[in-house]
Chain A
Amino acid sequence: MQLFVQRVFDGLQAGAIYAILALAIVIVFRASGMLNIAQGEIAMFTTFIAWNLFDVGLPWWASSVASLVIGFLVGAVLYRLLIVRLGGGHASPLAVVMVTIGLFLMLNDGAAVIWGTTAKPVPRIFGTGRVEIFGAGVAVQVLGLLAVLGVLVVVFGLLFQRTKLGLALRAVTSNQESAALAGIKVTTVLMIGWGLAGAIGSVAGSFTASGNFAVDRNMMQIVLIYAFAAATLGGFDSPLGAVLGGLIIGLVSELVVGYVAIVGPDLRLLPGFALVIIVLLVRPQGMFGSPKVVRA
């Protein structure tokens, strides 16, 4: 029982980070219909900037909060400078994939140019304390992370459903032309969407760094893969699906790796992806996604 509880919380810890990055990916996808392969690297870059703040004397939790603002700016600026030129909802998927791969390469090696290739040590955001649950020692950090995820879900749920901005974002998602005709400034709204994704991504970045006790320029790549899996599992246009998808993938990976000897730690990615492919074959739109209707 103790081991099981331990594994569940390990799974939730990993899963919550996937969920947060998946949330960022889904927001970009919902707003602009684009898949941002560089989302993880944007988060890594933001976390390095947060490390600079930490380095000059700010506490790590405060730097992480500041990185929300930095992430927003990075996301918004990238949209305004680059992505907007791809031509909105009519951009070809290949062009979007290539430009975000370009960003990925640029940011990943850019971080090496700016901050060097050695990892920068950082502490845990919520300290190193432990709480006993069912006999297993669970880190306060994990509980804090789950709480942050909960807050993010509530805040973004309210933002999307209860505010003018949320309404504008949903209108742009549903039909850019109609939204523009209704007087919504599409470019500004999309810029805010990319900014919000950058901000959420920065949370995933801070927690990944603090889980590893270091900011490393390659830390977000594997998280990105899992986050994509989470978003695919939950449905690319469903924030709630992304969050549940992330938690499910984290749990399934941890438990299968822990209890099924054939899979073992070497094939950590396999269970999650097997799940994703099965779900995609049965429901191509994911668990909570809305089916895409194509008109010729």
Chain B
Amino acid sequence: MSESIDWRRALVIVAFAIAAIVAPQVLGVSDVNLLSEIIYLSTAALALALITGFNGQISLGHGAFVGMGAYITMILTVDYNVSYVAAGLISLGAAFVVGLIIGLPALRITGVYLALVTLALATLFPQIVNRLGDITGGSVGRRLVPREGYGDWDRLQEVGRRRFLSTEGFRAPDWTGLANDQWRYYVFLAIAVVVFVLVRNLTRSRVGRGLVAIRDNETAAEVAGVPIAKYKVLTFGISAAIASVAGWMFAVLNNDVSPTSFTIVLSITLLVAAVLGGANSIIGPIIGAVVIIGLREAVPAGSQQYTNVIFGIALIVLILAAPGGVVGIYRKNQFKRKQRQAVRAAEEFKAALEAQEATVAE
């Protein structure tokens, strides 16, 4: 049974893929950007699902890695005329290294202590940004428009600083025939698909089983030969790198990077997104991101203060009722369905056997 293709599942995936590709062609600019934002949040939440859901290291500090990705992208593209692709790769590498470094103390600091240390990282990040105000723009932040005296200034003068974004910024190449927002959406989608598939493969590999084993029982995992220290630090690095990819998306999407976007609130939102959908699953983060952005859009502008009240209550109820998140509920139902199927099959078999015995007896 399990080897055969699950047609229902395949159908759902194909339907989603078609919807994801067609959507920007039929939706307006603001809706396309909303979808891009969902992709950004899903990717960031995936980073958290990997480290918290699969590896069991609770991080309340991933907003800092997202912020790092966004800031590096902004500074490189604006001040040093680095291309978006190169800036993305550099920020990915930098976040990976910083993630490894932060992951080292995480070997000795575990559980709630780790949550606290990462919480400190999240609170410290905006302060570091303020301290480095010369290049980051301080508490006001910076738009992705170059300042005087930076980068290839002559070229920028030629193009015009204010027009930098629309001429040299992140825009659709002519051959695509797409509007900038559509192009951005497709680029995000392609990156996200790659990241999600890579993480999915990682979690199903030998390494992935090692990560889950560490989460479930560190001592048992160690006895079974899982290199705990190596895996834990590596997970931190990979997860930070994924978060920085999301940060790249943030910078490209918003064209504006300021410390208020990367406070502790973002770190909490990411954890909530991962857990809400189901932290030990790959599509959980997507569900979480859709719910979070959907809720924000659904609440009228004048009564935003109710958002987190609803959210907090929903979170508490969810954790108390279904700790596995939305995906957890689905898996439980699937399990029960399969259980029922198995019981039914066994009963039918038994009935057939008895009928056969009866005929033999006659």
Measured CB to CB, the residues of A under 8 A from B are: 35, 82, 85-86, 92-99, 101-110, 112-113, 117, 221-222, 225, 228-229, 232, 236, 264, 266-270, 273, 276-277, 280-281, 284, 294, 296
Q: Which 3 residue pairs are nearest across A and B when measured between Cβ atoms?
A: A106-B312, A102-B315, A105-B312
User: A266 vs B113: C-alpha distance in the bound complex, in angstroms?
Assistant: 25
Once A228-B119, A276-B120 are accepted as A-B contacts, the answer to whether A99 and B127 lie under 8 Å apart by CB is no
Residues of A within 8 A of B130 (CB): 266
User: A4 vs B259: C-alpha distance in the bound complex, in angstroms?
Assistant: 32
Closest partner residue, chain B, to A98 (CB atom): B319
Asked if A106 contacts B112 (CB within 8 A), the reply is no
Residues of B within 8 A of A264 (CB): 131
- Which of A102, A117, A229, A277 touches B312 (beta carbons < 8 Å)? A102
Other A-B pairs, 12, CB within 8 Å; known A232-B113, A281-B108, A284-B109: A86-B320, A95-B323, A98-B271, A101-B268, A102-B312, A102-B314, A102-B319, A105-B308, A110-B309, A222-B123, A229-B116, A232-B117
Residue with the greatest number of chain A CB neighbours at <10 A, chosen from B60, B314, B323: B323
Residues of B within 8 A of A102 (CB): 311-316, 319
Asked if B109 contacts A225 (CB within 8 A), the reply is no
In the assembled complex, 17 residue pairs joining A and B whose CB atoms fall closer than 8 Å, in A order, are A35-B115, A82-B316, A85-B320, A93-B58, A94-B56, A94-B279, A96-B112, A97-B60, A102-B311, A105-B311, A106-B309, A232-B113, A264-B131, A266-B131, A284-B108, A294-B219, A296-B223
B275 an interface residue at 8 Å Cβ cutoff? yes
User: A101 vs B58: C-alpha distance in the bound complex, in angstroms?
Assistant: 13
Asked if B112 contacts A105 (CB within 8 A), the reply is no
Residues of B within 8 A of A103 (CB): 312, 316
Interface range for B: 35 or more
Once A232-B116, A266-B130 are accepted as A-B contacts, the answer to whether A296 and B308 lie under 8 Å apart by CB is no
Residues of A within 8 A of B117 (CB): 232, 276-277, 280
Residues of A within 8 A of B60 (CB): 97
- Which of B119, B279, B313 touches A106 (beta carbons < 8 Å)? B313
Residues of A within 8 A of B2 (CB): none
**How far apart are B297's CB and chain A's nearest CB, in angstroms?**
17
Closest partner residue, chain A, to B311 (CB atom): A105
Asked if B217 contacts A296 (CB within 8 A), the reply is yes
Asked if B308 contacts A97 (CB within 8 A), the reply is no
- Which of A82, A225, A266 touches B320 (beta carbons < 8 Å)? A82
B44 an interface residue at 8 Å Cβ cutoff? no
**How far apart are A96's CB and chain B's nearest CB, in angstroms?**
8
Once A268-B127, A269-B127 are accepted as A-B contacts, the answer to whether A97 and B108 lie under 8 Å apart by CB is no
**How far apart are B140's CB and chain A's nearest CB, in angstroms?**
14
User: A147 vs B220: C-alpha distance in the bound complex, in angstroms?
Assistant: 50
Once A99-B315, A103-B316, A280-B105 are accepted as A-B contacts, the answer to whether A109 and B115 lie under 8 Å apart by CB is no
Once A101-B271, A102-B312, A103-B316 are accepted as A-B contacts, the answer to whether A94 and B58 lie under 8 Å apart by CB is yes
Interface majority SS (helix, strand, loop, mixed), chain A: helix
Residues of B within 8 A of A276 (CB): 117, 120
- Residues of B41-82 at the interface with A, using a CB-CB cut-off of 8 Å, are 52, 56, 58, 60
Closest partner residue, chain B, to A86 (CB atom): B320
Residues of B within 8 A of A229 (CB): 116, 120
**How far apart are A127's CB and chain B's nearest CB, in angstroms?**
33
B264 an interface residue at 8 Å Cβ cutoff? yes
User: A28 vs B28: C-alpha distance in the bound complex, in angstroms?
Assistant: 51
Asked if B219 contacts A296 (CB within 8 A), the reply is yes
Measured CB to CB, the residues of B under 8 A from A are: 52, 56, 58, 60, 105, 108-109, 111-113, 115-117, 119-120, 123-124, 127-128, 130-131, 133, 217, 219-220, 223, 264, 268, 271-272, 275, 279, 305-309, 311-316, 319-320, 323
**How far apart are B225's CB and chain A's nearest CB, in angstroms?**
15
User: A281 vs B113: C-alpha distance in the bound complex, in angstroms?
Assistant: 12
- Which of B120, B124, B315 touches A98 (beta carbons < 8 Å)? B315
**How far apart are B43's CB and chain A's nearest CB, in angstroms?**
21
**How far apart are B134's CB and chain A's nearest CB, in angstroms?**
12
**How far apart are B247's CB and chain A's nearest CB, in angstroms?**
21
Asked if B113 contacts A280 (CB within 8 A), the reply is yes
**How far apart are B335's CB and chain A's nearest CB, in angstroms?**
20
User: A288 vs B127: C-alpha distance in the bound complex, in angstroms?
Assistant: 30
Asked if B113 contacts A108 (CB within 8 A), the reply is no
User: A284 vs B105: C-alpha distance in the bound complex, in angstroms?
Assistant: 10
Asked if B105 contacts A225 (CB within 8 A), the reply is no
User: A117 vs B302: C-alpha distance in the bound complex, in angstroms?
Assistant: 13
Residues of A within 8 A of B113 (CB): 232, 236, 280, 284
Closest partner residue, chain B, to A268 (CB atom): B127
Once A35-B112, A113-B305, A281-B105 are accepted as A-B contacts, the answer to whether A269 and B120 lie under 8 Å apart by CB is yes
**How far apart are B1's CB and chain A's nearest CB, in angstroms?**
32
Closest partner residue, chain B, to A232 (CB atom): B116
Asked if B306 contacts A113 (CB within 8 A), the reply is yes
Residues of A within 8 A of B112 (CB): 35, 93, 96-97, 236
Closest partner residue, chain B, to A101 (CB atom): B268
User: A178 vs B264: C-alpha distance in the bound complex, in angstroms?
Assistant: 39
Residues of B within 8 A of A98 (CB): 271-272, 275, 315, 319
Closest partner residue, chain A, to B316 (CB atom): A102
User: A264 vs B132: C-alpha distance in the bound complex, in angstroms?
Assistant: 12
Residues of B within 8 A of A82 (CB): 316, 320
Asked if A97 contacts B58 (CB within 8 A), the reply is yes
User: A226 vs B309: C-alpha distance in the bound complex, in angstroms?
Assistant: 25
Once A93-B115, A281-B105, A296-B220 are accepted as A-B contacts, the answer to whether A106 and B305 lie under 8 Å apart by CB is no
Residues of A within 8 A of B219 (CB): 294, 296
Asked if A267 contacts B127 (CB within 8 A), the reply is yes
**How far apart are A112's CB and chain B's nearest CB, in angstroms?**
4
Once A106-B312, A109-B309 are accepted as A-B contacts, the answer to whether A101 and B272 lie under 8 Å apart by CB is yes
Residues of A within 8 A of B312 (CB): 101-107, 109-110
